Amino acid sequence: MADRVLIIDDEAEQCALLAELLSRVGYSTESSTDPYQALERAGQVPFSAILLDLGLPDVTGIELCEQLLAQCPDVPIVVVTADTRMIKAIEAMRAGAFDYLTKPVDPQRLELSVTRATQRFRLLRELRRLREAGRTEPQGALLLPSTSPAMQRMMRLLERVAASEASVLIQGETGTGKEVAARAIHERSVRAAGPFVALNCASVPPALLESELFGHTRGAFTDARTERTGMFLAAQGGTLFLDEVAEMPLDMQAKLLRALQERLIRPVGSDREVPFDARVISATHRDLEKEVKARRFRQDLFYRLNVVGLRVPSLRERAEDILPLANYFLDRFCGHTGRSPVSLSYLVAERLLAHDWPGNVRELENCMERISAIARFEQATLDDLPEHIRLPAIAATTAAQDDEPVIHVDEFRRRHIESVLAKVSGNKSKASALLGVDRRTLYRKLDRYNRRADARKHGDQPQGEGKE
């Protein structure tokens, strides 16, 4: 559905002009020359943005702006006026206006302003929907309702593999939630009533790893004053999760392989083998196939662990889930500390969507914990964000020289879209969100700009030139 824009101007000709300019770029418009009728209409129809002329009879544009915002606080208002004095712009912004345009209105400036306004409206609406969706505690962050195709594919496979006894290898970047995925498999399996035992192989010194896994007898080595049950037996009847299995030394890999093949373990210092009954799920942030080729990981163990492979997508690949996850974590931390709930402001949400999240879900979780700890108001502000998210690095650009040719507006738009796509590593969902358009519109615009550029290159008049 096209975004609907309300145009308020006492001159019918100006309303018609603005409506024509906006309809050319895909907006649905409605016009009113009566400020009181417009105020009533704004309360009845879900407009995505409002264009408001400041020079109105009977009521000033500033007064009407305040009344509209009191009635529709989420709808951005772009004020339009023939008065070019800066004092007017400041006055309008203080009244709550989103942007400020002067007459005669430049079509490109109008499109840019309304696009930003409607993008802001959609983001505010999504934030409100998330706040009103309820505060039900999910079983884990991974299991939040997700619109991400990558997550939905992974969850479908997770549900199927959970019912089996097959070994599962979970791969994914650090912080994506591999252990949460392993727990979800365990909780959906026939072993759900048994223990879930997790061991991070990278956190245990190589000399002690065998004892951690298989246990040891009293006196097996220095300081082994008592007998110890290893992780395999501790997970009896349940699931053993081996995180960062790629960090395991090669000699230990051979012992692990034999244990998995024979379903027997030999405690350190013991002369007898003990059977175990535990399902093994392993995980790593490394590409194990590359590790096998580099001879840092045993190929036979890889096949034993990778009966079913599961990949947890990075947060960059599931941009649709950033705000739902952020709200979930923020509610959880506020609940744990007993403080009043904190919501996300539009500007904070915009920064969260623009960030690359190299630390994935764990980084987002830490960010929300920080907000819950230091936020001073009921709505988070930019100051509550970590500096690297609040102040993203801006790529250096070459200053334009006086003799450089003027770039056609289509070429400027095309470059802008391509730069946004490059910034988000080609993530179409994230680029669409940042640009304020859906994916089909994004591709349609790129295709149109490219065709027009080709036509200008050959000296032709592009069809529909000036209709953007």
Residue 74 is predicted with a pLDDT of: 87
Question: Within 13 Å, how many C-alpha atoms sit on residue 93's CB side?
Answer: 8
Tell me which residue of 136, 192, 198 sits closest to 170, measured CA to CA: 198
C-alpha of 333 from chain center: 19
Residue 136 is predicted with a pLDDT of: 45
For every one of its 468 residues, what pLDDT tens digit does the chain have, with 9 covering 90 and above? 578 999 999 899 999 999 999 999 999 999 999 988 999 999 888 899 999 998 887 788 888 999 998 898 889 999 998 877 777 777 888 888 888 888 888 998 899 899 988 988 888 887 777 766 654 444 444 555 577 888 889 999 999 999 899 999 999 999 999 999 999 999 999 999 999 999 999 999 988 899 999 987 876 666 767 778 899 999 999 999 999 999 999 999 999 999 999 999 998 888 889 999 999 999 999 999 999 999 999 999 999 999 999 999 999 998 888 988 898 889 889 888 888 888 888 889 989 998 999 999 999 999 999 999 999 988 899 999 999 998 865 433 333 344 444 445 555 566 667 666 766 667 777 777 666 666 677 777 777 766 666 665 555 554 444 444
415 Cβ partners below 8 Å, 6+ apart?
407
Residue 396 is predicted with a pLDDT of: 36
Q: Is 453 exposed, middle or buried (0-12, 13-18, 19+ CB in 10 A)?
A: middle
Identity of the amino acid at 60: T
Query: CB atoms < 10 A from the CB of 466, how many?
Result: 8
C-alpha 87/C-alpha 84 separation (Å) is 9
Indicate if 149-312 has the same CATH topology as 4-132.
Answer: yes
Q: Do residues 360 and 176 touch, judged by C-beta distance below 8 A?
A: yes
Each residue's pLDDT tens digit, 125-173: 877 777 666 544 444 445 555 778 888 899 999 999 998 999 999 999 9
Among positive and negative, which fits the CA dihedral 357, 359, 364, 370? Answer: negative
Second-level CATH architecture of 409-457: Orthogonal Bundle (1.10)
Residue 412 is predicted with a pLDDT of: 55
Residue 26: left if φ>0, alpha if ψ -120 to 50, beta else—which one? left
Q: In the beta sheet, which residues pair with residue 78?
A: 51, 99
The topology (CATH level 3) of 316-390 is: Helicase, Ruva Protein; domain 3 (1.10.8)
Q: Do residues 74 and 124 touch, judged by C-beta distance below 8 A?
A: yes
C-alpha 233/C-alpha 80 separation (Å) is 73
* Terminal Cα distance for the chain, rounded: 19
> In sequence order, what DSSP letters do the residues of 155-198 get, joined into one string?
HHHHHHHHTS---EEEE--TTS-HHHHHHHHHHTSTTTTS-EEE
Q: Do residues 310 and 168 touch, judged by C-beta distance below 8 A?
A: yes
Q: Is the overall model pTM greater than 0.85, yes or no?
A: no
Residue 262 is predicted with a pLDDT of: 93
Domain extents in the chain: 4-132, 149-312, 316-390, 409-457
The topology (CATH level 3) of 4-132 is: Rossmann fold (3.40.50)
Q: Do residues 83 and 71 touch, judged by C-beta distance below 8 A?
A: no
Identity of the amino acid at 45: V
CATH superfamily assigned to domain 149-312: P-loop containing nucleotide triphosphate hydrolases (3.40.50.300)
Q: Do residues 108 and 416 touch, judged by C-beta distance below 8 A?
A: no
Residue 96 is predicted with a pLDDT of: 86
- Go through the chain and tell me how many residues it has: 468
Residue 328 is predicted with a pLDDT of: 86
| Token pair listed for 395 | 């790529």
Among positive and negative, which fits the CA dihedral 432, 438, 443, 446? Answer: negative
DSSP 216: E
Question: Within 13 Å, how many C-alpha atoms sit on residue 154's CB side?
Answer: 30
